Amino acid sequence: MSVPKIEQISAPVILGEGPHWDHDAQALYYIDIKGSTVHKYVPATNTHTTVKIDGGEVSLVIPLEGTKDKFVITVGRNVAILTWDGESSTPTEVKYVSAVDNEKELQDNRLNDGKADPIGRLWAGTMGAESDPEDKFPLTLGSLFSFSKDWKPTKHLSNITVSNGLAWSEDLKSMYYIDSPTRKVEAFDFDAESGKISNRRTAFDFDIHDVLGFPDGMATDTKGKLWVACFEGSQVIRVDPANGKLLRCIPIPALKVTSVAFGGPQLDELYVTSADILTEEQKKMYPESGATFRVTGLGVKGYPGQAVKL
């Protein structure tokens, strides 16, 4: 088995998340939720650019197919279209197109992780606001939504605490999903045409394998295996969703590993985001926390990020 190389490719942010590899542009996009910023990294030129978004925390960035300067982002519990040239520090436009969790008691919720499925339909889930700084996770106030081409949300799951990783099988018959505090990766039967999910079941259980941390973001490789970021686990793991087996552990020099995405010209590089929400003692142990890392030499390939189609 090859020995991977792990390198830091960005300065630390507060809560890095949502890496998305745009294969056409050969660029990585990711966000800093707490900093409300969208980041772009071009490996070929080692160029980093950032744009600040006003109005709330930003949890995802996904290119809008057929455009060079438009992206789907979330701002709080709203979905918006960002117009950005990829270089300026301020956006050209942020146009709000949808909102979720509009009930009065859910006004403090925010959208968290999200992706476009392989046919370009946007999925994103919510989480409740922390009621106490000591709370690791808020109450089960979140839900999972998909969005139609006119931005109408459809709720698929409720009673979610921290809506997180999403991934799909190559044959489009399965969708994988994470509600982090459950310490499980769940699988659903997926109907690509209707966008409906059914037959909820456990694909991988952190408890059974004594895996450190909580499952966060994830990605699928071309062998059908899942790569899962371990928040508070300082690692990324590779698992087989077909039989629930743990296949590999890749140490990451950050305690709170948040998400992963395959990228690079050959799609054989794994980009890994992390968070710098740590105690002073933890920061001494993990000084690179909050950075984005590139892992090479894994011996596997994945898929590029899917743009949103309208």
Q: Does 133 have pLDDT greater than 60?
A: no
Mean pLDDT value across the chain: 96
Active-site option among 216, 221, 268, 276: 216
Per residue in 168-205, pLDDT (tens digit) is: 999 999 999 999 999 999 999 999 999 999 999 999 99
The number of distinct structural domains making up the chain is: 1
Instruction: Flag whether 74 is in a domain.
Output: yes
Instruction: Flag whether 310 is in a domain.
Output: no
Instruction: Flag whether 9 is in a domain.
Output: yes
Beta bridge partners of 184: 205
The domain that contains 94 carries what CATH number? 2.120.10.30
- In 3D space, the residue among 299, 304, 171 whose CA is nearest the CA of residue 241 turns out to be 171
Instruction: Flag whether 216 is in a domain.
Output: yes
Please confirm, yes or no, whether 216 is among the known catalytic residues: yes
Instruction: Flag whether 110 is in a domain.
Output: yes
Containing structural domain, residue 42: 5-296
Burial status of residue 199 (CB atoms within 10 A of its CB: 0-12, 13-18, 19 or more):
exposed
Instruction: Flag whether 85 is in a domain.
Output: yes
Per residue in 196-240, pLDDT (tens digit) is: 999 999 999 999 999 999 999 999 999 999 999 999 999 999 999
Cα separation, 55 vs 124, whole angstroms: 19
Instruction: Flag whether 302 is in a domain.
Output: no
pLDDT score of 186: 98
